[in-house]
Amino acid sequence: MENLAKDNEKRSCELATDFTHLQLQPIHKSMTLKFALNQIRKILSVCEKNPIDEHSLNYDEYNPFNICAASNVPHLS
């Protein structure tokens, strides 16, 4: 059960990074940024207590990609 929780944490982080590449309408972007700021504050407080890279994420910010609608996994453009 703990491995499943760890996988969900990793996948959640990957989806959050993928989400930064989407072109959203201004109102939706504003809503998601407010939500993200609240989450970042929580994550930052935990990371400051234990500063290690626990997960290796499947994300490359420099390569453009499209997101598969079925699997929510990025495909290189």
CB 75 within 8 A of CB 65: yes
Q: pLDDT band at 2, cuts 50/70/90?
A: low
User: Domain-by-domain residue ranges, the chain?
Assistant: 1-51
Burial classification of residue 74, based on how many CB atoms lie within 10 Å of its CB (0-12 exposed, 13-18 middle, 19 or more buried):
buried
Claim: this prediction has a pTM higher than 0.95: no
Judge whether residue 26 has pLDDT over 80. yes
Q: What gap in Å lies between CA 35 and CA 17, rounded to an integer?
A: 14
Residue 1: per-residue pLDDT: 42
Q: What is the overall mean pLDDT for the chain?
A: 75
Interval 49-57 mean pLDDT? 76
Judge whether residue 25 has pLDDT over 80. yes
